[in-house]
Copies of this chain bind each other. A is one copy, B any other.
Amino acid sequence: MNHRTIFFVSDQTGITAETLGHSLLTQFDGLRFRSVTLPFIDGIDKAKEVVRRVNLTAEVEGVRPIVFATFVHDEIRAVIRGSRGLLLDFFDAFIDPLERELDVRSSHMVGRAHGQKNQDWYSRRIDAMNFALENDDGQTVRNYEKADVILVGVSRSGKTPTCLYMALHYGIFPANYPLADEEFESGHLPGALLQHRHKLYGLTIAPSRLVQIRNERRPESRYASADQVGFELRSAQGLFRKFGVPWMDTTECSIEEIASTVLARMGLLDRNAADPERVESSEPGSGA
């Protein structure tokens, strides 16, 4: 069985190297990888230590590791290039064409958060997270005026993780409301939701998967039974149709996919895009 060690190395957090590296590796189904993340490699000595580790891995495993990197400092990258691994540096490949296009030299500075713009973006994400926490699971319906989107769906359909992800990653103010017996019996949505009908987005999930998820929580319960789950999901989809709520099936989706689908369909990616501060303030995804 093919087995490779993958290093994600950066003079910053390594999150960008990981994100792109993982995305690329999903294109190679069936291979086995082991991953090692080494962030904050911001000096020559640390870089030499990485080289030793990569070389040792190459020796022990008999196959050279793949090193995904995002180095801002050319000198550090040069040290890593001396390792026996295959170095794929995402910055190295794209900084040049960007410098030519923008007709300006890049700073070659580790992109630390700095200045008021970043603090604004930090505050925005924190406020969004607090909004998501305060408006989770229908605990209050009073703040929907301020919400960007209100997710609706049955228990364990993915509402809370999606809301927290949208808040932390995109600075979106999300609320969510659980559909339960009250709605199913009345065949109605609460007035607080209908008042903001254009903000509603429904999540649904395959019955078999929801049975599995609920059984992990409360094994053998009515809550986790196929009958109850089937009833709730049918009722929820009935409500989505009746009130014209757009919805998606989350069964095969990662949290990232659910979040970006919701935002794309609700036109919220464009709204953010219209904010010229958004890129300059360097998030999401800075601290490579």
A107 to B269, CA, bound (A): 29
Can you tell how many copies of this chain the complex includes?
2
Asked if A26 and B111 sit within 8 Å, CB to CB, the answer is yes
Q: How far is the CB of A212 from chain B (nearest CB, A)?
A: 8
Pick from A8-16, A174-182, A185-193, A223-231 the stretch touching chain B.
Answer: A8-16
Contact with B along A232-267 (1 / 0, CB 8 A): 000000000000000000001111110111001000
A44 at the A/B interface (Cβ < 8 Å)?
no
A142 at the A/B interface (Cβ < 8 Å)?
no
A27 to B273, CA, bound (A): 20
A267 to B161, CA, bound (A): 26
**Complex contacts, A273 vs chain B, CB 8 Å:** 34-37
Q: Which of A1-51 contact B (CB under 8 A)?
A: 2-4, 6, 12-16, 18-29, 31-40
**Complex contacts, A256 vs chain B, CB 8 Å:** 13, 15, 283, 285-287
Selected from B21, B24, B257, the residue in CB contact (under 8 A) with A287 is B257
A278 to B18, CA, bound (A): 11
Instruction: Give the nearest-CB partner of A132 in chain B.
Output: B164
**Complex contacts, A97 vs chain B, CB 8 Å:** 86, 88
Instruction: Give the nearest-CB partner of A30 in chain B.
Output: B104
Asked if B122 and A27 sit within 8 Å, CB to CB, the answer is no
Asked if A90 and B15 sit within 8 Å, CB to CB, the answer is no
Instruction: Give the nearest-CB partner of A103 in chain B.
Output: B2
A120 to B273, CA, bound (A): 33
A60 at the A/B interface (Cβ < 8 Å)?
no
Selected from B39, B98, B272, the residue in CB contact (under 8 A) with A66 is B98
A282 at the A/B interface (Cβ < 8 Å)?
yes
Q: A20-B90, A256-B13 are in contact. Are A26 and B102 (CB under 8 A)?
A: no
Selected from B23, B33, B169, the residue in CB contact (under 8 A) with A286 is B23
**Complex contacts, A280 vs chain B, CB 8 Å:** 31-33
Asked if B269 and A111 sit within 8 Å, CB to CB, the answer is no
Asked if A33 and B255 sit within 8 Å, CB to CB, the answer is no
Which residues of A are interface residues toward B (Cβ below 8 A)? 2-4, 6, 12-16, 18-29, 31-40, 64, 66, 70, 72, 86, 88, 90-91, 93-95, 97-98, 101-102, 104, 106-109, 111-114, 118-119, 122-123, 125-126, 129, 133, 160-161, 164-165, 168-169, 209, 213, 216, 252-257, 259-261, 264, 269-270, 272-274, 276, 278-280, 282-288
12 further contact pairs, Cβ within 8 A, besides A112-B252, A164-B168: A15-B260, A23-B286, A23-B288, A24-B91, A26-B286, A28-B107, A35-B273, A36-B269, A88-B97, A112-B257, A118-B254, A125-B255
